[in-house]
Amino acid sequence: MKVFLTGSTGFVGKQLLKDLMENRHKVKCLVRKGSEHKLEKYINTIEIEYGDITNIHCLENIIKGCDAVINIVGIIREIRGNKITFERLHYEGTRNLAVEAKKQGVSRFIQMSSLGANKEGKTQYQQTKYRAEDFIRNSGLDYTIFRPSIIFGKEDNFVNIFANMLKIQQFIPVIGDGKYKMQPVAVENVSAAFVNSLERKDTIGKLFEVGGPEKIEFNEIINIIGKVLCLPPYKICVPAWIMSNLAEMFDWIPVFPVTKDQITMLLEGNTCNEKPFFDHFKIPPVFFEEGIAKYLS
C-alpha cells in the first residue's frame, strides 16, 4: 500500500514511518523545506514532497496515486508570531488535506486527534481537535480516528523533560496537588494501531480512544521516572492559580515551560477506557515503567 504521511519528522512520525517501512508499505512524506535531514535514514527509500498542510495549493495533485492518507500533524502550543496556531494546524490543515484527498481519489484517511477533544472543551486545543474530527466524519472519506493520551517514547517531550530536570536538580515542581490522573501510552502501541488499521475494514468509520494500560496519578509518574533513574525526586507543589497567572503572562514566550491551556488540561486529567482499543488491535500493551526504562536507563 502507498501511504501519504504528514508529520513524519516528529517524535510519533518517525516511529510511524519506521513501522510503515518495516511492514513493506511505500511512503510519500509531506515535509517542510529544511526538515528533510530528520528523515536521512530513509531518504533513499521514501518519496518526499515539500509543503505544508495549511497551504491547500501545495497539496494539489501530490496525494493522487496513494492508497491512504495518515495525518498526525499537531502542536501543543501556539506561536502566533509565526502563524502557528491550533486553528491553522489542527482544523484548517486537516480540512485542506481531507478536501484534497477526496478530490484526488484517495478515500482512506487516518487521523490522529487527542484524548479530550471536545466541542465544548475549555481550550482551543481541545476544540480545534474536535472540529477537525467532525470535518472528517462528514467528509465522505473512509476514516479512522485515534485519540491518544500522552504518548511516551525515546524522543518524547513529556518523560524526557522531567528526567532532565531530575538529573540537574532532583526536584520537580508539581502544579496543584499532583493527584490528577494520566494514562501514558507507548509510541510503539500507537504506531502499531495506525499501521494495523490501514487495510482493516473493521476500523473504517471508527473512533478509538487510546490510553496505556495504567491510570497513574501525576505524582506517581514522577516517582516512577525517579525510580528508573535511581534519583528519588523531591516534589514541590505550586498552587495552580499561581502557575496559571504566570502562564497567562509568559506563555507567549516559547521557552516558558507550560501554557495556561496546558495547565487547564492537566488539572482535568486525561484518561479513558483503554480496553476496546487493545482488544480490537490485539496489541500487547507496554506498561509505563517498563517502557521508559528502555530509553532512560
Predicted confidence (pLDDT) per residue in 147-196, tens digit: 999 999 999 999 999 999 999 998 999 999 999 999 999 999 999 999 99
Q: Which of 51, 36, 43 is nearest to 21 (CA)?
A: 43
Per DSSP, 283 falls in state P
Helices (H) and strands (E) in the chain, counts: 11, 13
Q: Looking at the chain, which runs of residues are DSSP E strands?
A: 2-6, 26-31, 47-50, 68-71, 108-112, 142-148, 151-152, 171-175, 181-182, 185-186, 206-210, 216-217, 234-238
Residues 6+ apart with CB under 8 A from 155: 11, 14
CA atoms within 13 A on the CB side of 127: 10
> Hey, how many other C-beta atoms are within 10 angstroms of the C-beta on 204?
15
pLDDT digits (tens, 9 = 90+) for 64-88: 999 999 999 999 888 877 888 999 9
The domain ranges of the chain are 2-152+185-212+270-286
pTM for the whole thing? 0.95
CA-to-CA distance for 77 and 252, rounded, in angstroms?
9
pLDDT of residue 81: 77
CA-to-CA distance for 20 and 9, rounded, in angstroms?
14
pLDDT digits (tens, 9 = 90+) for 117-161: 999 999 999 999 999 999 999 999 999 999 999 999 999 999 999
Contact by Cβ (8 Å): 123, 264 = yes
pLDDT of residue 83: 83
- Architecture field, domain 2-152+185-212+270-286: 3-Layer(aba) Sandwich (3.40)
CA-to-CA distance for 91 and 56, rounded, in angstroms?
13
CA-to-CA distance for 69 and 11, rounded, in angstroms?
18
CA-to-CA distance for 49 and 82, rounded, in angstroms?
22
pLDDT digits (tens, 9 = 90+) for 237-254: 999 999 999 888 887 777
* C-alpha grid cell, residue 244: 496559571
pLDDT of residue 257: 76
**If you write DSSP's letter for every residue of 169-209 in order, what string do you get?**
TSEEEEETTS--EE--EEHHHHHHHHHHHTT-GGGTTEEEE
pLDDT of residue 191: 98
pLDDT digits (tens, 9 = 90+) for 100-119: 999 999 999 999 999 999 99
| Strands 181-182 and 216-217, bridge-based pairing | antiparallel
pLDDT digits (tens, 9 = 90+) for 200-228: 999 999 999 999 999 999 999 999 999 99
Q: Is the pLDDT of residue 93 over 90?
A: yes
